[in-house]
Amino acid sequence: MKRRAVSNRCLRAAGAAVALILFAGACADSGDDTAQATSPGPTTSATGASPTGTVSPVDQAGLQAALDAGAQEFLLPGAVALLHTPSGTITATYGTTERDGGDPVSADDHIRVGSNTKTWTATVILQLVQEGNIALSDPVSEHRPDVPNGENITIEQLLNMRSGLYNYSETPELNEALDNDPQRVWSPEDLLALAFANPPYFPPGEGYHYSNTNYVLLGLIAEQLEGRPLPQIYDDRIFRSTRMTESSYPDVTDTSIPTPYSHGYFYGTNMLTLTYPALPQSMQDEAKAGTLAPTDVTNNNPSWTSSAGMGISTANDLATWVKALTDGSMLDADLQQQRMDSILPTDPSVPEAAGYGWGIAKMGPMYGHTGELPGYNSFMGSDPENGVTLIVWTNLAPGVDGRDPASTIAKGLIDEMYAN
């Protein structure tokens, strides 16, 4: 899809949607000079090399250099990169948990992970499929009779963003409210009402459009089938089974983040970047000159993201999770293979474009997802063939030019590792 704005970024017109475009050309051109992550330092190496030798080494100094360069380019207060390969794990950090202060950032810091939450929601639904409680072919109307044209939309089409349902986070009503009343508590039903008041993008199955509405519905359906709230579902099915002890899904009235945590920062307003993600050039210039400061949005109420993006986690937990997501430990072998096979190009006219499937994206050689909401951007990717996992998060998002900082830094690292 086009790089639309609705400045709720990852939950804008789309967490993964923007990153998918960003990664569409990843590793396709060895001449890509984006964010080269090299350094002559003879420090510990993380090669990630497979028997075919397709992955080039990135050492501690190289990882740090790439993170430093990206952080300075994007005016970030803080950022973390974690790279795991068969040779071990290396971590790089930049800056502090607060702008002009705070503690040095750490891989143990909690952040809001935005649309990476969708991978939790989708996995829960697929486990319910595996258990026979719901079918991918079920019409949505069987579970939510109020969905417009729900008799012709399947559960699978919610999972793979091909339902056509309007994305509530593209509405001026939501963006105005986020600017004017950032502590407002949004129920999932409030969000669906915004979506259903707008026409669909296309008939079910006849296109691709990243829509948070799909995953709000899936969360409600999971609660209905399980007879218990999402925090309990995620805790039982996702966090406990993978020992993700630092991840959580808060109540809609809870705006806190567990300690230690990093503050999140946001330039401009949601309405200002509704139709185009970049700030006006004059504001970009002021930000770069240091005369325009970002807003601390750490404790803005995230309930508007619901089961599409309200999760909290750490770099270490995200690394644990994206490996579980891709190695098949969350589903039986047959359904896991179907999940990986569900990934289709987001732009059918470009077969090599990045793809999206059942709550999982393929970005260059890596499978995973991205997450962004005002203040935070995170990338999690895993290449199970070569045993490589990459996590990057930033505590400012989006960039003043509309790009996603963590995803851009991750792409530079991936291009470097897979240049050959």
Convert the pLDDT of each residue in 300-353 to its tens digit.
999 999 999 999 999 999 999 999 999 999 999 999 999 999 999 998 788 777
Convert the pLDDT of each residue in 133-164 to its tens digit. 999 999 999 999 999 999 999 999 999 999 99
Mean pLDDT of 71-82: 98
Which pTM was predicted?
0.90
Q: What share of the chain is helix, strand, coil (3-state, %, to 5)?
A: 35, 20, 45
Domain boundaries, the chain: 9-417
**85 Ramachandran zone, left/alpha/beta (phi>0; psi -120 to 50):** beta
Chain segment 210-265, per-residue pLDDT in tens:
999 999 999 999 999 999 999 999 999 999 999 999 999 999 999 999 999 999 99
pLDDT of residue 56: 87
If one compares 18 and 373, the residue with the highest pLDDT of the two is: 373
Q: Both tokens of residue 86?
A: 């068969």
Q: What is the CATH number of domain 9-417?
A: 3.40.710.10
Distance from C-alpha of 321 to C-alpha of 310, rounded to nearest angstrom: 16
Range scoring the smallest mean pLDDT among 67-71, 205-209, 273-277 = 273-277
Q: Is the peptide bond before 260 cis (omega within 30 degrees of 0)?
A: yes
- Determine the 3-state secondary structure of 334 from DSSP: helix
Whole-number Å distance between alpha carbons of 4 and 120: 25
Q: How far apart are CA 17 and CA 161, in angstroms?
A: 10
Specify the pLDDT at position 46. 37
* Cα–Cα distance measured from residue 388 to residue 403, given in angstroms and rounded to the nearest whole number: 25
Between 10 and 170, the more confident residue is 170
For tokens 């290396």, the residue is 90
Residues in contact with 188: Cβ distance below 8 Å, sequence separation at least 6, in sequence order? 216, 219, 220, 306, 307
pLDDT in tens, 17-64: 445 554 543 333 322 222 222 222 222 333 333 333 478 889 999 999
Closest Cα partner for 315 from 69, 113, 95, 53? 113
Query: What average pLDDT does this structure show over 372-398?
Result: 97
Looking at residue 23, its pLDDT comes to 54
Only one residue has tokens 């999760």, namely 311
pLDDT score, position 266: 97
Q: What is the mean pLDDT of residues 196-209?
A: 97
Tokens 């800056």 found at: 95
Secondary structure element (H or E) that encloses residue 282, with its range: helix 281-289
pLDDT of res. 283: 97
Residue 352 has a pLDDT of: 72
The number of beta carbons lying within 10 Å of the beta carbon of residue 117 is: 33
